[in-house]
A and B are shown apart, each in its own frame.
Chain A
Amino acid sequence: MNEWILTFVIFSPVVGVVVLLLSNGSRPAQIRGTAFAFSLLTALLALVAAVMYYQSDGSASGGFALEQSVEWLPASLGGQRNIDVRYHVGVDGISLWLLLLTAFLGPLAIWASFTDIAERVKEYYALMLLLQAGMLGVFCAMDLLLFYVFFEFTLVPLYFLIGIWGGPEKRRAANKFFIYTLAGSVLTFAGVLFIAYFAYARSGTFTMDINTLTAMAHDSPVPRGVQWWLFLAFAAGFSIKVPLFPVHTWLPLAHTEAPTAGSVILAGILLKLGTYGFFRISLPMLPDGTIAFAPFMATLAVIGIIYGSLAAWVQRDIKKLVAYSSVAHLGFCMLGMFSLKMAGLSGSVMYMLNHGLSTGALFLVVGMVYERYHTRDIKAIGGLARPMPWLAFFLILFTLSSVGLPGLNGFVGEFMVLLGAATSQSTADGLPPGPLGYAYVIPAALGIILGAVYMFWMCQCVLFGPLKEPAHTPDMSRGLTRDLTLREIGILAPIAAACVIIGVWPKPVLKTLDSSIRANIAANYRDETVPDSGVETRWTEAVPESHRLDLFTDGSQADG
């Protein structure tokens, strides 16, 4: 059972898709119910997986657990069976929490679509479940090819979700989103192949196993000059996904045009695929590349914090405002990560979780407003606190969580990120000195002020002042009430509870993160660095002659 549980988690939504497509019932209520039931089943299975993880040996040491490894693409080069690409899944403390976040937000996003989606219902829910499966797969994958397949697969359902059920500019948004992110991840794929090739050069096996590659970075690292190129290749795909300034411009459009549930998933989880990619691949496998580029990445992150906040402040579309806030928030996430300190690293993962909760919830709230007023223009609505006290309560709570009020979840991640960046040079956490310093904290802290500026400005416009509603609204034709319905409260309340609990008692999460980060990431950062073979190192020189791939033996090498 232990080794099957993750597979069950990943593929239970797919079973849901099959059931949906096979059933010939076309009543929307029935379809919604089926989809919701399967997403709940997935969440339940993920919970079971979490319990199993805590009972396994992995949780104590921080290592991976619940692993399942099956040969997937066995192939040979030059006669031996030396290409070893496997279906290998497993979780550690880092991915477990992201898995739980995904499983948690999935049903809520589906539940939130009940009144929103009225046409092509069956396709919609099938795509939502597929998307869910893809994201769960990314967090469980322990083989780079599997990771990449899931990583790219998520694009497909989301492309259709935006393109079919999106807003007025849905076509443009879907295309931009798809091509933008695909362009980056093609480079990532080159990186994947390249690092696997290095493993082949070292060990004679063309492996993409994350464990093996991580261990390789520790025992016989890739030369520094090569690490730089690899880092850039991975960063190309991951930075766009994060999104890091200046490759963030796909995000506001995609977020704005996507249907509510799409925005929730996009902000809540899909952006984390980028940061998770950095965490799982770049940081452990390319420690020297990471150290070399950390100041650069952190600078972009800090620019993104300020820039995203300023841009958010001048938006009139609430959704765009929240979208730009994501640019700023993910900047914090990246800043903590590249501090390469325990506090910063844990804080970064914490930030991923918290951003998923609070921004996901903000998109839900905005969607609930939109369903009633058919506008997202901040200036067109106002004073909603009076007719909608429940909405006001949740919007203010998630705003506070988003601006990092202590006692709520956002603060824990934000503070640890800043702490990590500030103390990057110290060695009190047992890690070698990191590449950042106190100077990075000052602009980031300015970003915190700006974060409060635009969020509170939005709250003031939407909730306070005299009541302002567009003509012929609120639209209650789809069974909505003036204030939030019980269903809507039921969607937001669990997120609110999670925000408060994590804010007051984050220890269970932090403890798991700490041991896993130490075991799987920090272990590769040692005081001594890889001998510098120079930036000029050509990749061919780093590979022994005997292990070079003989793809072009017949042609190009003849004229040497």
Chain B
Amino acid sequence: MDVGILKTCGILILLLPAAGTVLVGALGRPVLRGRSHWPVILGVAGAVICSFVVLGQFGGVSGDEAHGDTQAVVSVYQWIATGAPETREAPAAWFNISFLFDPLTCVMLVTVTGVSLLVIIYSREYMRQHGHPERGYERFFAFLGLFVFSMCALVLSGNFLLLYLGWEAVGLCSYLLIGFYYGKPEAAAAAKKAFLVNRIGDFGFGLGILLIYLTFNTLDYQAVFGMVADRATASGAALTDGRITAIALLLFCGAVGKSAQIPLYVWLPDAMEGPSPVSALIHAATMVTAGVYMVARCGVIFTQSSLAMAVVASIGAVTALFAATIALTQHDMKRVLAYSTISQLGYMFLGLGVFAATSAIFHLFTHAFFKALLFLAAGSVMHAMGGVIDMRRFSGLRRIMPWTYRTFVIGGLALAGFPLLSGFWSKDEIIHAAMTRSPLLGAIGLLTAVMTAFYTFRMVFRAFHGAQRVPPGVHAHEAGKWILVPLCLLAVGAIGAGYVNVHIRGGGFLGFLEPGAAFESFLHPAVAPFASASHHASSEHGGGHMLMYLSGLLAVAGIGVAWWVYVRRPDLAGGLARMSPQAYDLSYNKYYVDEMYDAGVVKPLRGSGKLAFGIDEYVIDGLIWLVTAVPRLLAFGLKGLQSGSLQGYAVTMAAGFAIILLLVLWM
């Protein structure tokens, strides 16, 4: 491992996409116009290459803990002062721009840059109408470049402050891209909502970072994690359980916001107002997984607190189930996928919470492929339908768009957890870990898996099967190669990505496939705290592979039910809804959570704003008016005395003189 190469790559991974953005920003409108995608594609492609170079640096030492250096920290420059005197033996007088490289970084970098590149290539065609660049074409690519920069900064960061920078910057890109069609009031509102809800999470996240600094007097990962592992603090006192739990929970607030978990998930469905490539990249494959990444990264902190782990696991499980129930009834394909993303992120947190960090990251990795694929394929449908994505308005598209159909089905099978596809392997590992930890959590995982299969194929059958029907005035067509090539590449990933963590062994699943392989041993050093804190160190499927057969069966069952309801007996679908109207309404209206937030938070706050302004206008200014009224009143009273008549003055003078005289004489 060569630290010099790592440093160069780290800087290039950040600078190349950023340079693309600057170039498009400066030249896009006047010069490049329809070619504005090139600087960003090239910049991100460079970042992909650098990411693989970084991966290559770690390839040699993977799993070989004897070398001991599965981690490298490089510092680039000094950023913000801590206020500590530099001469002292303080940990650091500056917060640095520094990178931490380890297997987790590598996995994230490759995932992020790889999927980004495919999505950006896809956007080349998607962001055009009849071959002409859409309005704001260059802006779109500039923002995408900025996003890749921010996300890589988040992943590369070697300290909490740079993490926070990336964290906020991806939120900004999300804001800008959700609001890409800013002329639409819904898009503008959704963008704002996304940013603000994330800020609520970041409130906790920021407080957590400050508490870390207060406790450890540094924000560098290595130093902090080292001290946590030793249960030490900067002041020399022992680290208390309360403090570490507080830090973990505050950090988790940020993850809840960014990764759209209960109760802060409300922004993600609305975020679908953004263009489909944005939904695929930011709101499915990469940005929303930042919370999962952060918890995995801070494993040392989280695993020290059983309460925090329990919270992570239960929020994950509840979100997985809750979001799946909403996805059952939505008509907008992208919204179904959005709730499905929330649900899958719930799985990842469930995995983290039951100490199966490798499985969680593995699911993050496979999910990036199949969910990006589903969003992009849905985008392809939307492109062909002239911007319509409501499943009530089209059906039977499989003959018009055969390739989109095929890739969508592959993505759907992977999401549903159909045996042998990527989603199957990763989801099963999480359910397995949850089951060993707590049967209840495992059961929730399985229940969610059935629903996932059902709603995914409800979408497949409604959109692509049945009578061929398109919205009026739309000339439906299959997409061109710029869209189809990324779709096919992602489809290959959706099928095969799971096999990085499967090896062939007699007696495994179906007699020869055994989960837990290269991926797990590669990642292990980075998430070691989870494994060592957990009592069952590896995801060895000790109890046979019953669970794998069961979850495979459930996936097939869910698909089967969807087929029965939407293809075989289409009349059943409405009947189901009519059977339990309350439940259906509750799910269709997303449990009225948005309305509750509006009535419980937004309105009272605005009310207090009005109150504050009223206090300003009337109370404070009223008091000041009273103060100024004193001299005014005096003046008013004394005004009468200054009448201008000489006799009056003379009388007053005489009277005054008399009074003084009396006083002097008597005293």
Residues of A within 8 A of B (CB): 179-180, 246, 248-249, 252, 307, 310-315, 341-346, 383, 385-386, 396, 400, 405-407, 411-412, 415-416, 418-420, 422-423, 426, 428-430, 438, 441-442, 445-446, 448-450, 452-453, 456-457, 459-460, 463-467, 505-507, 510-511, 514, 518
Q: Which residues of A contact B207 (CB under 8 A)?
A: 441-442, 445
* Cross-chain pairs A/B with CB under 8 angstroms, 21 sampled: A246-B620, A252-B616, A311-B613, A313-B606, A342-B81, A343-B83, A346-B83, A386-B182, A405-B169, A405-B172, A406-B165, A418-B206, A420-B83, A438-B210, A449-B203, A452-B195, A460-B189, A464-B179, A505-B79, A506-B81, A507-B81
Q: Which residues of A contact B184 (CB under 8 A)?
A: 465
Identify the 9 closest CB pairs spanning chains A and B, nearest first: A342-B83, A464-B188, A343-B83, A406-B165, A310-B609, A314-B609, A464-B182, A311-B612, A510-B81
Taking CB as reference atom, which chain A residue is nearest B164?
Answer: A406
Q: A307 and B612: CB pair below 8 A?
A: yes
B642 at the interface (CB under 8 A from A): no
How far, in whole Å, are A518 and B87 apart by their CA atoms in the complex?
13
Q: Name the interface residues of B148-167: CB closer than 8 Å to any CB of A.
A: 161, 164-165
B26 at the interface (CB under 8 A from A): no
How far, in whole Å, are A506 and B161 apart by their CA atoms in the complex?
14
Q: B317: shortest Cβ distance to chain A, in Å?
A: 28
Q: A464 and B616: CB pair below 8 A?
A: no
Taking CB as reference atom, which chain A residue is nearest B85?
Answer: A430
B75 at the interface (CB under 8 A from A): no
Q: Which residues of B contact A450 (CB under 8 A)?
A: 605
Q: B164: shortest Cβ distance to chain A, in Å?
A: 6
Q: A422 and B210: CB pair below 8 A?
A: yes
Q: A513: shortest Cβ distance to chain B, in Å?
A: 8
Taking CB as reference atom, which chain A residue is nearest B166?
Answer: A406
Q: B83 and A429: CB pair below 8 A?
A: yes
Q: Which residues of A contact B229 (CB under 8 A)?
A: none
Q: A354: shortest Cβ distance to chain B, in Å?
A: 13
Q: B78: shortest Cβ distance to chain A, in Å?
A: 6
Taking CB as reference atom, which chain A residue is nearest B623?
Answer: A246
Q: A407-B165, A464-B185 are in contact. Are A310 and B192 (CB under 8 A)?
A: no
Q: A21: shortest Cβ distance to chain B, in Å?
A: 35
Q: Name the interface residues of B80-117: CB closer than 8 Å to any CB of A.
A: 80-85, 88, 90, 94
Q: A249-B616, A452-B196, A514-B83 are in contact. Are A465 and B214 (CB under 8 A)?
A: no
| Main SS at interface, chain B | helix
Q: B161 and A415: CB pair below 8 A?
A: yes
Q: B82 and A419: CB pair below 8 A?
A: yes
* Contact for B620 among A249, A416, A506, CB less than 8 A: A249
Taking CB as reference atom, which chain B residue is nearest A418?
Answer: B210
Q: Which residues of B contact A428 (CB under 8 A)?
A: 82-84, 90, 217, 234
Q: Mark each residue of chain B from 231 to 264: 1 if its CB lies under 8 Å from any CB of chain A, else 0.
A: 0001100000000000000000000000000000
Q: Mark each residue of chain B from 171 to 199: 1 if its CB lies under 8 Å from any CB of chain A, else 0.
A: 01001100100111101110110011001
How far, in whole Å, are A476 and B609 apart by their CA atoms in the complex?
36
Taking CB as reference atom, which chain B residue is nearest A467?
Answer: B183
Q: A249 and B624: CB pair below 8 A?
A: yes
* Contact for B182 among A307, A344, A345, A385, CB less than 8 A: A385
Q: A422 and B214: CB pair below 8 A?
A: yes
Taking CB as reference atom, which chain B residue is nearest A343?
Answer: B83
Q: B635: shortest Cβ distance to chain A, in Å?
A: 15
Q: Which residues of B contact A407 (CB under 8 A)?
A: 165, 168-169
How far, in whole Å, are A459 and B88 apart by their CA atoms in the complex?
45
Q: B130: shortest Cβ distance to chain A, in Å?
A: 21
Q: Which residues of A contact B616 (CB under 8 A)?
A: 248-249, 252, 311
Taking CB as reference atom, which chain A residue is nearest B627?
Answer: A183
Q: A426 and B217: CB pair below 8 A?
A: yes
Q: Which residues of B contact A310 (CB under 8 A)?
A: 605, 608-609, 611-613
Q: Name the interface residues of B626-664: CB closer than 8 Å to any CB of A.
A: 628
Q: A456 and B206: CB pair below 8 A?
A: no
Q: Which residues of B contact A307 (CB under 8 A)?
A: 612
Q: B133: shortest Cβ distance to chain A, in Å?
A: 16
Q: Which residues of B contact A246 (CB under 8 A)?
A: 620
How far, in whole Å, are A315 and B613 apart by their CA atoms in the complex?
8
Interface centre among B187, B211, B616 (most CB of A within 10 A): B616
